[in-house]
Amino acid sequence: MPSADMPIGERIRLYRRRRGYSQPVLAQMASRSESWLSQVERGVRSVDRMSTIIELSRVLKVDPVELTGKPLSLAPNGGVDGA
């Protein structure tokens, strides 16, 4: 279990490695570029869409909360939003 203050990029890297996926493999499975994933994991780029977090969590077979480190709530439009 990641520490509460671990950034999302480090969490993604942690779960990617636990699954035994390389960056190119996870990037392809999540329909992202390897460059994008590398930047996210290094903290250079943020994951700014909940849909992307949900897709990564689906591919990594973890709850989205494991990637965000915080509970999710419904946004005013009824979609999922990070609380």
| 30-57 confidence digits (pLDDT tens) | 999 999 999 999 999 999 888 999 999 9
Query: Judging by beta carbons within 10 Å of its beta carbon (0-12, 13-18, 19+), is residue 62 exposed, middle or buried?
Result: middle
The pLDDT mean for the chain works out to 88
Task: Please identify which residue in the block is written with the tokens 């949900």.
Answer: 54
The band of 82, judged by pLDDT with boundaries at 50, 70 and 90, is low
Domain edges within the chain: 8-82
Give CA–CA dist 83/70, Å, rounded: 7
CATH of 8-82, one of 3.40.720.10, 1.20.1250.20, 1.10.260.40, 3.40.1080.10: 1.10.260.40
Report yes or no on whether pTM surpasses 0.85: no
Q: What was the pLDDT predicted at 83?
A: 47
Predicted confidence (pLDDT) at residue 78 exceeds the cutoff of 90: no
Q: How many CA atoms lie within 13 A of 38 on its CB side?
A: 6
Under a CB-based contact definition with an 8 Å cutoff, are residues 66 and 11 in contact?
A: yes
Q: What was the pLDDT predicted at 3?
A: 77
